Homo-oligomer: A and B are copies of this chain.
Amino acid sequence: MQNDLAHSLSAIAGSDGVLTGEPAAPYCTDWRGRYSGNALAVVFPSHTQQVADIVKLCAAHQITIVPQGGNTSLCGGSVPLALPAGGRQIVLNLSRMNRVRAFDAINYSMTVEAGCKLADVREAAEKNNRLFPLGLTATQKYCEIGGNLSTNAGGINVLRYGNTRDLVLGLEVVLPDGRIWNGLRSLRKDNSGYDLKQLFIGAEGTLGIITAAVLKLFPRPQATATACIAIADPDVAVCLLAHVRANCGDMLSSFEIISRSCLDLVLKHTPDTREPFTGKHEWIIITQLADVMPAPLDGALRNALKSFGSGIIEFDVTGDEDHAERWWKLRKNISEAQKREGISIKHDVSVPVSRVAEFIARADAALRSAFPGIRIVSFGHMGDGNIHYNVSMPDAAQNKTFIANQEIAVNKLVYTVVRELNGSISAEHGLGQLKRDTIRGYKEPLELELMRSIKQTLDPHGLMNPGKVV
């Protein structure tokens, strides 16, 4: 079976476009090493027609398909399930489809293939004096745009530019039966029927394979101003964000919150970092304005902060990007510093922006009461109500037992607060296999039923990324 399949796949994608056995293994494990699966083969098509032919071949033999890009999913969404022997699945990796098909500076759009790396898309835009605003702190260099689209990736500029969904004009998709849907329109307005592309964005490859997209571009900012702000409590951050938005408008492009525990970890594990202020503070905010007008923005940001009144302990503003980068380093190294410190139970949750402080207070209280001595590392995209909320025990040995035994109990406490605040247990990372079962406890049955009916309609034989999302 496996040899026959590899042979047929080679006939489509070329003999250098198929891996089996040991060489295929890296594509069957996620980048955190948390999920490992098995696949009959990993195939690397170079063109949309090859993708279509592979899907048709698999459909004819009831072989399931895991679409994969840079394989940076944090939820096990881009690796195959661990199936008993005889599991019939392949990984379809789109990394070879990495061409920029068209660039239209006047239309502020570009057409890219799914395998383009996000960093390369950003760079291609910049070379043409345009901005593609999707910005991910940890994975930008590795992740591919097809994965960003399939997971509706978020990141640090959502406050201003929206999620990936908001950055798409058109899609090309290979459907589960191998037909190619050409929805590569580059229109700003098109009300000529149901907006089918919305189905595939954020579907994590369970409804079809995105092979190319028309992306929206924006004017490239020429000036930035960045502030680092010390506050005592997230309550202040909630009001400060609304105030800065009202005063600085759409120039506000990020608003990140970092707790003391994050800072301590970053300072401990990251070279060339230091406290942003002489005093130690419980919370800091890093916020940035950006504008295409070259005039300095630091004055505007300073005025907005000064007019806020009490609540800010101290702040500093700079229009110098190198200076700002020293602060951003504190934000961008949190994930890495946490990893060095040891494993933790992670949550990627969102609530309405107005309720972020309430979420943190209530979740903290519930956890500290249930697990005395717990360490809570919370930070994130305050501007989008998206908090990365990670917990562990400071003592390494104790932590191991804690995580082995209490993950479910911890999740339940955190997610209960999320539910009470009408939030989401997956803000930006998606469901993948990590939260596929959990979500059933937090979404109403009618919504789950609608999701399943859409899946059934588009992928009646369940061939696309099984065991993920629905």
Contact = CB atoms under 8 A, between A and B. Distances in A.
Interface of A: 104-109, 129, 151-152, 154, 158-159, 162-163, 165-166, 179, 181-183, 185-196, 198-199, 201-203, 207, 218-221, 238-239, 241-242, 245-251, 291-293, 300, 350-355, 381, 383-386, 422-431, 435, 439, 442-444, 446-448, 450-451, 453-454, 456-458, 469-470
A188 B469 contact: no
B185 A424 contact: yes
A196 B292 contact: no
B152 A246 contact: no
A422 B188 CA distance: 12
B202 A189 contact: no
A201 B197 CA distance: 13
Contacts of A183: 447
Contact of A248 (B151, B239, B293): B293
20 contacts: A106-B238, A106-B239, A106-B353, A108-B242, A158-B188, A186-B352, A187-B352, A188-B383, A188-B384, A188-B386, A190-B427, A191-B430, A193-B431, A194-B454, A198-B198, A221-B249, A246-B292, A249-B291, A249-B292, A293-B300
**Shortest beta-carbon contacts, A-B, top 7:** A249-B292, A198-B198, A106-B354, A188-B384, A190-B424, A189-B427, A107-B354
A193 B469 contact: yes
Tell me the number of copies of this protein: 2
A250 B352 contact: no
Nearest to A160: B250
A158 B427 CA distance: 26
Contacts of A453: 457-458
B443 A381 contact: no
A447 B196 contact: yes
Contacts of A185: 422, 424
B188 A439 contact: no
A191 B386 CA distance: 11
Given A165-B195, A293-B249, A431-B192, A187 B106 contact: no
Contact of A385 (B187, B428, B447): B187
